[in-house]
A and B are shown apart, each in its own frame.
Chain A
Amino acid sequence: KQEVTQIPAALSVPEGENLVLNCSFTDSAIYNLQWFRQDPGKGLTSLLLIQSSQREQTSGRLNASLDKSSGRSTLYIAASQPGDSATYLCAVKLQETSGSRLTFGEGTQLTVNP
């Protein structure tokens, strides 16, 4: 059974700081990994998707890396802003014969203070 863990559970940083969020998973036979952002009481916004054959993806100030063999991914946020405050979730999709269920971690709640 795939398990996904995110560390830390919560993080509070001053504006402008660079930060790293961590995600680990137990089954390395993944198809892809996605990072999502969730604002309180809202749905999920996809930030980055990394295919199993890729090592990293970048979008603006965000960079996600994937080390499938060690079961780890990191989300790097450069020059954090108060608007980055949200919960960040990682999710993995296993290599399965059919279906595309995502297994999520419990998230990292980020607060960026002005």
Chain B
Amino acid sequence: DAGVTQSPTHLIKTRGQQVTLRCSPKSGHDTVSWYQQALGQGPQFIFQYYEEEERQRGNFPDRFSGHQFPNYSSELNVNALLLGDSALYLCASSLGVIEQYFGPGTRLTVT
């Protein structure tokens, strides 16, 4: 049983560009959450998707948007990249509100 998978593993972008990160949830899970983890800090909640709708959102600007597909996979889009967006982006999946399982993350570097 594959766990949560994320792509790409690493990504380097230039300020002002746009980026799309992808996540496939653990088999049987219907809820996907995204977190941003800056170096040396704990993860910060970005948003959560359930039934293709954004169910919860953290304190992130509208430059951060997402989508969930009918197969429960999800994308995180970030527009107008800033240097401060450099971080490890983590995806987590769960069945409803039960325990969340995390993927390996995507390391985004903005130069």
Contact = CB atoms under 8 A, between A and B. Distances in A.
Contacts of A4: 42
Interface string A85-102: 000010101001011111
A89 B45 contact: no
Nearest to A107: B42
B104 A42 contact: yes
B99 A49 contact: yes
Interface size class of B (residues with CB under 8 A): 20 to 34
Contacts of A70: none
A27 to B, nearest CB: 15
Contacts of B96: 100
Contacts of A46: 99-102
A104 interface: yes
B48 A101 contact: yes
A71 interface: no
Contacts of A34: 99-100
Interface in A61-105: 89, 91, 93, 96, 98-105
Contacts of B44: 104
A43 B45 contact: no
Contacts of B104: 42-43
A19 interface: no
A56 interface: no
Interface centre among A31, A45, A46 (most CB of B within 10 A): A46
A100 B33 contact: yes
A20 interface: no
B10 to A, nearest CB: 10
A103 to B, nearest CB: 7
A100 B93 CA distance: 10
Contacts of B35: 102, 104
Interface of B: 4, 31, 33, 35, 40-45, 48, 50, 55-56, 58, 88, 90, 92, 94, 96-97, 99-105, 107
10 contacts: A32-B99, A41-B107, A43-B4, A44-B92, A98-B55, A99-B56, A99-B97, A100-B31, A100-B97, A104-B42
